[in-house]
Amino acid sequence: MSVLRRAARWLLVIVVALLVLLAIEALIAIATVPDDDYRAPSAAPRELGPRGAPPLRFAVLGDSTGAGRGAPYEQGIAVGAARHLSQSRRVTLTNLAVSGARLGDVRRDQLPEAARLRPDVVLVSAGANDVTGLTRLGSVRDHMTTIAKRLRSARCDVAIVITAAPDIGSPPRLAQPLRMVAGLNTRRLNRAFDEVVREQRLVLAPIAKRTGRRFRADRSLFAADGFHPSAAGYAVWMPVIEAALDHALARRGTPSPACPSATAGAGRR
C-alpha cells in the first residue's frame, strides 16, 4: 500500500508541475505578443461584383480570423470569400467579426445585427479563442445551435458555413507541451462543432483537418506574431472555405424542415 501511496504522490506532483508549466507558457505567449499595428475592419456594408448581377447579402461573424488579423485585410478570408461569391453576383459584405471573440461573444454581440440584416449567406469563423479559453463543449454546442436557429428565424433559407477552430496545435508562438495540449483541445472542440453541423444541417469548412499539417510544417503561413495566419496562411484556407460556400449555396434551394419551400425566402428582402 505504501508503494501505491508514493506512486500516487509522485503522479500528483507531476500533474501539478505540468499544469504550472502550461500556465507559465500560456502567460509568456500572451505577454510577448508583438505589436502588429492591427486595426479592426469596418463593419459598414461593402459591395463587390458586377452591377446588375443578382444580389446576395453576405455576413461574416467570428474572431480575429474573420477580421483578417495577421495579414492586410484585403487578403483575409472575409474579402476573399466575398470576391469568390461576387464572380456572378452583386455581393454586399458586412463583416461583424471581432478579434478576440469567443463563440459566446459572437452570439451575444454579433448575432443580433446579423439577424437584422437577414443575410443570404453567413460565414462563422470562430473557435480559436474557445480552444485557448477552455470553453466547455456544452457551451460550444449551445452557442452554435442558437446562432444557427436565430439566423434561420430571420431568414429560413440562409446558407450557413462554419470553419470551427483552426489547428491551435500548430502556431509557433505556443511552446511545447502547451502546443500539444492545444492541438488535442482543438480536436475535442471541433467534435462538438461536428455534432451541431449534423444536427442543424450546416456546412463545415474543415480548415483544421484540411490544412493543419501544412501550418505545422510551414512557418511562413503565420504572421510575425507567430499565432495568426499570414496572407499566405489565409490563402491556404481559401479553397476549403470556397468549396464549403459553393456547397452551401447549391444546397440552399433544397427544401428543409426549417424552410419547407425552396423559394420560401427568395422573394423577401
Mean pLDDT of the chain: 85
* pLDDT attached to residue 235: 98
Domain range enclosing 17: 1-31
Query: Are residue 200 and residue 243 in the same domain, yes or no?
Result: yes
Cell triple for residue 140? 460550444
Residue 184 belongs to some domain of the structure:
yes
Do residues 14 and 107 share a domain?
no
* Pair (133, 189) in one structural domain: yes
Instruction: Quote the crossing angle between the two packed helices 178-200 and 2-31, to the nearest 10°.
Output: 80
pTM: 0.84
Higher pLDDT among residues 87 and 266, named by residue: 87
Burial group, residue 154, by CB count within 10 angstroms (0-12, 13-18, 19+)? middle
116 within a domain of the structure (yes/no): yes
* Residue 62 sits in the same domain as residue 142: yes
Express each pLDDT in 40-70 by its tens digit: 888 999 999 999 999 999 999 999 999 999 9
C-alpha angle 24/26/32, rounded to 5°?
95
Strand 121-125 and strand 55-62: pairing? parallel
How far, in Å, CA of 221 to CA of 207, rounded?
A: 13
